[in-house]
Structure 1
């Protein structure tokens, strides 16, 4: 009986070590657990998908050594506070749009879009080969954050309006959600400009909090139902291409091993390009 017990113990130990040899690195507990705050609501299509793709790639490419938890604005409750949270180290990463920070630093406007400016391929050429990344680093260094391209929406539409716009007089006193340079221009024409988080846009337009809104284009707008409550849809001039933004806390990133730094940067770059392609595809499908 004693011999049988010893044999069972030996077999159990052998099985344990054998099984451990087959456990993949991805099944092991991650050494680095990061959190990312995004401006978008939970399960937000295209934008949120790009963030999830990035996080999935980091986990897979690192063999499970690093994981990134994603918190939507539904959890952190500060859609336009993402830069501050990443800067403070409350979150290691963020996903948003650079032109949301114009109140903190007017130079952040240049890394999202500008009226009659570059289209998406030109933006990527500028970022990666024309000095755009270096200029963005210079602007964001003072905020303690690294900034990277975070996905492009392509050209955006001019917005949804509840009343037809026939002349400049129709813009006087119009309450409209529109950020960035375009908001600055329309404010000069008498528009009451505001910015509202994505998840609150439909309700704001439906209840009359705003009279019009600019969001993205067919890829997202039709899915959000704006056409049901605002029958006038105009083409745009203000955002020929709109680049979103990944942010990383500088101290946290610099403390990562080099191979994980490379993985994070590669995953962000892939997610950005993938979102660009997805935006084109979904706009075409929604228009069809």
Structure 2
């Protein structure tokens, strides 16, 4: 999807870089880079973000940056992007930071956190708070740089075969749920697992799992989960799921300064455009779901279940902070930023929506 706003921003940025004359740039070295993505070929929204980035980078560089993308069905390692970019097999990757928590636990905090920041709050933390600095601290020891790669906004709580009425219903529940939320559910007796996107429907259909969370209406309906699991729960675990662009640091250092800046801008613009696209698609698909799939039962977890999840989440955060000074720095930074930003979110977005809801219709 190529929005008017995206095109305008790219054009404006290109003008800002007009000090580099196109005839001169065309004669300079062409840098050919390779990117591995976690997603399958033509995967909507998630796959659009890296392709937008590639197109923007090539246009803004006058053809000096040419990036090819290998999808998961080609490189065969959807959850291996971290290692492939780190080793130099690929120059860049597009994935999600919390997929690497088994390798580097502190990567988990840079996708989203249960009961955490909304997308605008989290973008503020990344770009105007300590987010980018702390992410660099985590990734640089592995020869990697990480940049925000596109946000889904609030994700739904998942598709369940059976209704969740109590904390006891989570006991032994086999659920695909990655990141810190998986640890929260494990603490409450569930059995979380992480499964690549292309295998989710089959796992649910074959009873390998009892429930799963994926994204929300923007992507879930086309995956067909509602055909098997009719209970669709609202979110708690991923209020601002940010994907990531991974860059091999050796590749980054080989690029001229202007191409680094072009790449940085291309990643930032395509990430924000994914957020807009995801929001749009969720709104459209939610309306479709309500009219075409009336058997889907939209639920919110009972308050005792949410309370138990929040208590488990807080206990786990305390444990992680006690074990690792860098984890504590990240956790404290996010909590402090959210405390400040949430006051504004409440008096702006929340107050506006509540005021509109009270109007006579």
Is TM > 0.5 for Structure 1 vs Structure 2? yes
Q: Residues 223 and 25 from structure 1, CA distance in 2 versus in 1: closer, same or farther, beyond 3 angstroms?
A: farther
CA positional deviation for 1:29: 10
Q: Residues 279 and 270 from structure 1, CA distance in 2 versus in 1: closer, same or farther, beyond 3 angstroms?
A: same
1:141 paired residue number: 140
1:227 paired residue number: 226
Structure 1 portions without partners, runs of 5+: 1-23
1:123 to 2:127 alignment: no
Can you list the C-alpha shifts for 1:28-59, whole angstroms capped at 9, x where unaligned?
Answer: 99721110001111110000001100001111
Counterparts of 1:215 and 1:154, CA distance in 2:
12
4+ aligned runs moved over 4 Å, structure 1: 24-30
Kept after mapping to 2: 8 A contact 1:37/1:71:
yes
Q: How does 1:250-261 map to 2 (within 5 A)?
A: 250-261=249-260
Counterparts of 1:64 and 1:25, CA distance in 2:
12
1:97 paired residue number: 96
1:199 paired residue number: 198
Q: Residues 26 and 282 from structure 1, CA distance in 2 versus in 1: closer, same or farther, beyond 3 angstroms?
A: farther
Kept after mapping to 1: 8 A contact 2:33/2:66:
yes
1:273 to 2:301 alignment: no
1:52 to 2:51 alignment: yes
Can you list the C-alpha shifts for 1:171-222, whole angstroms capped at 9, x where unaligned?
Answer: 1111110011110000111111100011111111011111100111111111
Q: TM-score, normalised by structure 1?
A: 0.89
Pick the structure with greater CA Rg.
Answer: 1
Kept after mapping to 2: 8 A contact 1:36/1:91:
yes
Q: How does 1:52-201 map to 2 (within 5 A)?
A: 52-201=51-200
Structure 2 portions without partners, runs of 5+: 1-22, 288-361
Kept after mapping to 1: 8 A contact 2:36/2:81:
yes
Kept after mapping to 1: 8 A contact 2:167/2:188:
yes
- SS of the residue aligned with 2:223? coil
- SS of the residue aligned with 1:117? coil
Higher RCO (CA 8 Å, separation ≥ 6 residues): 1
Q: How does 1:228-247 map to 2 (within 5 A)?
A: 228-247=227-246
Kept after mapping to 2: 8 A contact 1:26/1:60:
no
2:37 paired residue number: 38
2:334 paired residue number: none
Q: TM-score, normalised by structure 2?
A: 0.71
